Amino acid sequence: MLKRLLSGNEAIARGAYENGVSFAAGYPGTPATEIVEEIAKYNRIDAQWSVNEKVALDVAVGASLGGARTLVAMKHVGLNVASDTLFTLSYTGVNGGLVIVTADDPGMHSSQNEQDNRFYAKFAKIPLLEPSDSQEAKDFVGLGLSISEIFDTPVLIRITTAIAHSKSIVKFNIKQKTNFHNKTFRKDSAKWVMIPANARKRRLLVEARLKKLKNFSERIWCNRIEWGKRNIGIITSSICYQYAKEALSDASILKLGMTYPLPEFLIKKFASKIQDLYVIEELDPFLEEQVKVLGIELKGKELFPQTGELSPSLVKDKISIRGSQNKVSSTETIEKFPPRVPSLCPGCPYLGFFYTLKKLKLFVAGDIGCYALGALPPASAMHTCISMGSSIGIALGLEKAMKDRIKHKLIAVIGDSTFLHAGIPELIDVVYNKGSVTIIIFDNQTIAMTGRQDHPGTGVTLKKESSRRFDYVKLIRALGVKNVQVVNIYDLKATKKAILEETNRDSVSVVVAKGPCILLDKYKNRKRLFKVVNSENCRKCHECLNLGCAAITIKEKGRIEIDAELCIGCSICAQLCRYNAIEKYAPR
Amino acid sequence: MRLVNPRKVDVIIAGIGGQGVLLAGEIVAEMFMKTGFDVKKYEVRGISQRTGSVVCYIRAATKVFSPVISEGSADFLVGLELIDTYRYRKFLKKDGNIIVVDRIIPFYLIGDSSIIHPNNLLTRLRREFRRVTVVNYDRIDQYFRFVNAVNMVILGVFSNYLNLDEQSWQEVIKKKVPHKTVDMNLKAFKSGRRMILK
Ligand code: SF4
Ligand code: SF4
E strand or H helix at A561: strand A560-562
Instruction: For residues A200 and A204, give the distance between their C-alpha atoms in angstroms, rounded to a whole number.
Output: 7
Task: Report pLDDT for A526.
Answer: 53
**Which fold would CATH assign to domain A224-318?**
Rossmann fold (3.40.50)
Ligand 2 centre to CA of A7 (Å) is 25
Mean pLDDT of chain A: 93
Q: What are φ and ψ of residue A575, in 5° steps? A: -65, -35
Ligand 1 centre to CA of A571 (Å) is 6
The distance of A524 to chain B (nearest Cα, Å) reads 12
Tell me the pLDDT tens digit for each residue of A334-362: 456 677 778 899 899 999 999 999 999 99
Task: Report pLDDT for A176.
Answer: 65
Of B75, B195, B85, nearest in space to B135 by CA: B195
Strand partners, B54: B15, B45
Of B21, B103, B47, B109, nearest in space to A345 by CA: B47
The distance of B46 to chain A (nearest Cα, Å) reads 6
Of A441, A424, A440, A520, nearest in space to A51 by CA: A424
Domains A3-219 and A527-587 share a fold: no
For A478, counting Cβ atoms within 10 Å of its Cβ (0-12 exposed, 13-18 middle, 19+ buried), the class is exposed
Average pLDDT (A502-530) is: 84
Ligand 2 centre to CA of A449 (Å) is 7
Average pLDDT (A493-498) is: 97
Interchain contact B120–A (C-beta under 8 A): no
Report CB contact under 8 Å: A342, B47: yes
Contact A585, A532 (CB under 8 A): yes
Report CB contact under 8 Å: A167, B42: yes
Question: Best of A111, A167, A518 to disrupt the B interface by mutation (most B CBs within 10 Å)?
Answer: A167
Of A165, A169, A311, A242, nearest in space to B91 by CA: A311
Interchain contact B75–A (C-beta under 8 A): no
Task: Report pLDDT for B44.
Answer: 87
What's the number of CA atoms in the CB half-sphere (13 Å) around residue B170? Answer: 10
Instruction: For residues A538 and A488, give the distance between their C-alpha atoms in angstroms, rounded to a whole number.
Output: 27
Q: B71-100 b/e with 16+ CB inside 10 Å = b?
A: eeebbbbbbbbbbbbbbbbebbbeebbbbb
Instruction: For residues A576 and B136, give the distance between their C-alpha atoms in angstroms, rounded to a whole number.
Output: 35
Contact A495, A356 (CB under 8 A): yes
Instruction: For residues B72 and A499, give the distance between their C-alpha atoms in angstroms, rounded to a whole number.
Output: 52
Could you state, in order of their start, the residue ranges of all structural domains in chain A? 3-219, 224-318, 349-521, 527-587
3-state secondary structure of A12: helix
Number of residues in chain A: 588
Average pLDDT (A556-569) is: 83
Instruction: For residues A377 and A396, give the distance between their C-alpha atoms in angstroms, rounded to a whole number.
Output: 26
- CATH architecture under which domain A527-587 falls: 2-Layer Sandwich (3.30)
Amino acid, single-letter form, for residue A91 = Y
Question: Best of A33, A313, A340 to disrupt the B interface by mutation (most B CBs within 10 Å)?
Answer: A340
Task: Report pLDDT for B108.
Answer: 63
Task: Report pLDDT for B118.
Answer: 80
Average pLDDT (A510-536) is: 79
What is residue A32's DSSP assignment? T
Per CATH, the number for A349-521 is 3.40.50.970
Mutation pick for ligand 2 pocket among A418, A450, A519, A572 (CB with most ligand atoms within 8 Å): A519
Cα-Cα end-to-end distance for chain A: 51
Residue A562 alpha carbon, nearest atom of ligand 1? 7
Question: β-pairing, A560-562 with A552-554?
Answer: antiparallel
Task: Report pLDDT for A331.
Answer: 37
Contact A554, A545 (CB under 8 A): yes
Instruction: For residues B130 and B134, give the distance between their C-alpha atoms in angstroms, rounded to a whole number.
Output: 12
Residues in A touching B39 (Cβ below 8 Å): 5, 167-169
Residue A572 alpha carbon, nearest atom of ligand 1? 3
Residues in B touching A335 (Cβ below 8 Å): 87
Instruction: For residues B153 and B190, give the distance between their C-alpha atoms in angstroms, rounded to a whole number.
Output: 7
Contact A184, A192 (CB under 8 A): no
Instruction: For residues B23 and A543, give the distance between their C-alpha atoms in angstroms, rounded to a whole number.
Output: 37
User: How far is CA A461 from each of CA A99, A286, A417, B193, rounded to the nearest angstrom?
Assistant: 22, 38, 13, 43
**DSSP calls for A385-412:** --STTHHHHHHHHHHHHHGGGTTTSEEE
Task: Report pLDDT for B48.
Answer: 63
Tell me the pLDDT tens digit for each residue of A1-37: 799 999 999 999 999 999 999 999 999 999 999 999 9
E strand or H helix at A53: helix A53-65
Instruction: For residues A314 and A310, give the distance between their C-alpha atoms in angstroms, rounded to a whole number.
Output: 6
pTM above 0.80, yes or no: yes
Interchain contact A447–B (C-beta under 8 A): no
Task: Report pLDDT for A321.
Answer: 53
Interchain contact B38–A (C-beta under 8 A): yes
Residue A351 alpha carbon, nearest atom of ligand 2? 8
pLDDT band at B175 (very low <50, low <70, confident <90, very high): very high
Is the pLDDT confidence value at A552 over 60? yes
Is the pLDDT confidence value at A391 over 50? yes
Task: Report pLDDT for A151.
Answer: 98
What's the number of CA atoms in the CB half-sphere (13 Å) around residue A530? Answer: 16
pLDDT band at A588 (very low <50, low <70, confident <90, very high): low
Contacts of A32 (CB under 8 A, 6+ apart): A9, A26, A73, A74, A75, A78, A101, A102, A103, A164
pLDDT band at B2 (very low <50, low <70, confident <90, very high): very low
Q: Considering only A213-227, A345-359, A414-428, B2-16, which range has the smallest mean pLDDT?
A: B2-16
Contacts of A208 (CB under 8 A, 6+ apart): none
Task: Report pLDDT for B5.
Answer: 53
pLDDT band at B144 (very low <50, low <70, confident <90, very high): confident
Residues in B touching A519 (Cβ below 8 Å): 49-50
Interchain contact A382–B (C-beta under 8 A): no
Interchain contact B70–A (C-beta under 8 A): yes
Question: β-pairing, A155-160 with A128-129?
Answer: parallel
Report CB contact under 8 Å: A338, B16: no
Instruction: For residues B22 and B37, give the distance between their C-alpha atoms in angstroms, rounded to a whole number.
Output: 20
Residue A518 alpha carbon, nearest atom of ligand 2? 7
Q: Map out the domains of chain B with their CATH numbers.
A: 8-105+120-193 (3.40.920.10)
Average pLDDT (B63-67) is: 97
Q: What are φ and ψ of residue A258, in 5° steps? A: -105, 115
By Cβ distance, the residue of A5, A340, A373 closest to B83 is: A340
Interchain contact B12–A (C-beta under 8 A): no
Task: Report pLDDT for B142.
Answer: 81
Task: Report pLDDT for A174.
Answer: 81
Cα-Cα end-to-end distance for chain B: 13
Average pLDDT (B58-65) is: 96
Is the pLDDT confidence value at B183 over 50? yes
Question: β-pairing, B53-61 with B38-45?
Answer: antiparallel
Number of Cβ within 10 Å of residue B194's Cβ equals 10
Ligand 1 centre to CA of A429 (Å) is 38
SS3 content of chain A, % helix, strand, coil (to 5): 40, 20, 40
Mutation pick for ligand 2 pocket among A341, A353, A370 (CB with most ligand atoms within 8 Å): A370
Q: Please state the ipTM of this predicted complex.
A: 0.93
Is the pLDDT confidence value at A420 over 60? yes
Residues in A touching B41 (Cβ below 8 Å): 5, 166-168
Contacts of A405 (CB under 8 A, 6+ apart): none
Residue list, ligand 2 pocket, CB within 6 Å: A 344-345, 348, 350, 370, 444, 448, 517-519; B 49
E strand or H helix at A493: helix A492-503
SS3 per-residue string spanning chain B: CCCCCCCEEEEEEEEECCCCHHHHHHHHHHHHHHCCCEEEEEEEECCCCCCCEEEEEEEEECCCCCCCCCCCCEEEEEECCHHHHHHHHHHEEEEEEEEEECCCCCCCCCCCCCCCCHHHHHHHHHHHCCEEEEECHHHCCHHHHHCCCHHHHHHHHHHCCCCCCHHHHHHHHHHHCCHHHHHHHHHHHHHHHHCCCC
Report CB contact under 8 Å: B39, A563: no
Instruction: For residues A95 and A422, give the distance between their C-alpha atoms in angstroms, rounded to a whole number.
Output: 29
Instruction: For residues A239 and A570, give the distance between their C-alpha atoms in angstroms, rounded to a whole number.
Output: 43
Is the pLDDT confidence value at A446 over 90? yes
Report CB contact under 8 Å: B48, A342: yes
Q: Considering only A267-276, A316-325, A380-389, B158-167, which range has the smallest mean pLDDT?
A: A316-325
Contact A545, A379 (CB under 8 A): no
Among 3.40.50.970, 3.40.50.880, 3.90.110.10, 3.90.550.10, name the CATH number for the domain at A3-219: 3.40.50.970
pLDDT band at B147 (very low <50, low <70, confident <90, very high): confident
Those of residues 555-584 in A touching chain B at CB distance below 8 A are: 563, 565-566
